[in-house]
Amino acid sequence: MRYLTYNAKTFRNIEYMRYLPEEVKQEIEIVSKVIPFKSNNYVVDYLIDWENYENDPIYILTFPNKNMLREDQYERVKRAVDQNLSEDELYEVVNSVRLEMNPHPAQQLTNIPQLNGEKLPGVQHKYRDIVLFFPTQGQSCHAHCTFCFRWPQFTKQLDLQFSMREIDKVIEYIREHEFVHELLFTGGDPMIMSPAVLSGYVDKVIDAKIPNLDTIRFGTKALTYWPFTFLPSYNEEAEEMLNMFRRITDSGMHLSIMAHFNHPVELENEALQEAIANIRETGAQIRTQAPVLNHINNSSQLWANMWTKQVNLGLVPYYMFIERETGPYEYFQVPLAEVYNIYSEAIRLTGSLAKTVTAPVMSAAKGKVQILGVVDNPLDGKKYFILQYARHRDYSKTFKPFLVEYDEKATWVDQLTELVPNSI
């Protein structure tokens, strides 16, 4: 299997692009100036139905289109390209559009901790018990999702990245915060790193024997976009990656692969299924998560099918998210009322083992807000959403239900009015 990477400069050479009208190719080149575009031959050859590309979920998931920008934003970038501006002048226009797209949602810049008075720019610590680490070499992906809430990680022209190499500082920080017991490697995608580089980080964590650290997690889309990461028969480095997983579990720590699946078609390939079996053999667990996305997976039956297939493959459904208010949010957003209906119908259609999922959830400024239900209040004749924080910056405020006024058009928590204002 070849590992070819396609981006806005090279995608014209892909054989399957013959299906695309010239106008569509030009649109991709314009939009990809703003929304990072990257794919590879596994996604292009095995996951996309090119005979129906316009409606194909994986095509929409990985190939940007002009509707992902507002009309005025698209025209500004197109005009800049048509005028043959210098690279600096072009990216001044591009970056002005990016800054209009809420590049740091949920106040994530406030999650950067300090160690001995020094900021740790590649670390986030929002919730009491878990630290996120962004290794510098892992700030890319095998392919880019067009909806990605971490899209600024892939833009070099703006100084918006979280990343660092100093794992020793992360270890010291965790050791000093005894309530931290989970370390999440994230990005980008840490699985884009070679096993040798990633092991350089992981083995130091294992060797440190931090008494309060009992779980390592990897957030990754590699199972979907490049399963050969875990297939020794195709990739000579795969056994080294799997051996690293074994070292983690042999050390007594729990290892969880936080896998991202957006559509059932991603679960159908034999390479993916073999990769899942290889990972589970190391003692690791695989948990799944994804947002509800317009144009891709806003269907109850689809989610029910996806969760059922995941359970049958030995995966644990973990989170159904609501798309974050960043990047091409307006294109992918689904009203909260509709998301709740999608979830409630989907969960009814699944067996018991799929009901582990926490859903639907918004990763907002104060924490992960879960929609528990919708009720009619006989006292005032109004309808309300029942919400709770499944996670909160202040852990004492989790799992305490509260009411907000029902709004069938609202797409995010800050558009809702709380019955007794004190939580949102």
Burial classification of residue 120, based on how many CB atoms lie within 10 Å of its CB (0-12 exposed, 13-18 middle, 19 or more buried): buried
Cα 393 to Cα 128, 129, 173, 186, 363: the distances in Å are 7, 10, 18, 19, 11
Beta pairing partners, 386: 373, 403
* Whole-number Å distance between alpha carbons of 136 and 202: 14
Beta pairing partners, 131: 183
Q: What's the confidence (pLDDT) of residue 262? A: 98
Helices assigned H by DSSP within 320-415: 329-332, 336-349
Residue given tokens 């590879």 in the structure block = 40
Could you tell me which residues come within 8 angstroms of residue 21 by beta carbon, excluding any fewer than 6 positions away?
A: none
pLDDT in tens, 146-175: 999 887 777 765 555 666 789 999 999 999
* Whole-number Å distance between alpha carbons of 371 and 78: 40
Beta strands in 33-165 (DSSP E): 38-40, 114-115, 118-119, 123-124, 130-133
Q: What's the confidence (pLDDT) of residue 154? A: 75
Q: What's the confidence (pLDDT) of residue 76? A: 97
**So where are the chain's domains?**
5-99, 108-283
Q: What's the confidence (pLDDT) of residue 1? A: 45
Concatenating the DSSP letter of every residue in 99-125 gives HTT-SSGGGGGGG--EETTEE-TTEE-
pLDDT in tens, 270-305: 999 999 999 999 999 999 999 999 999 999 999 999
Assign domain 108-283 to its CATH superfamily: Aldolase class I (3.20.20.70)
| The two structure tokens encoding residue 358 | 């926490």
> Can you list the residues of the chain whose pLDDT is less than 70?
1-4, 9, 12-16, 106-109, 156-163, 421-424
Half-sphere exposure of 67 (CA within 13 A, CB side): 9
Could you tell me which residues come within 8 angstroms of residue 176 by beta carbon, excluding any fewer than 6 positions away?
A: 115
**Is residue 370 within 8 Å of residue 359, measured between CB atoms?**
yes
**Is residue 8 within 8 Å of residue 28, measured between CB atoms?**
yes
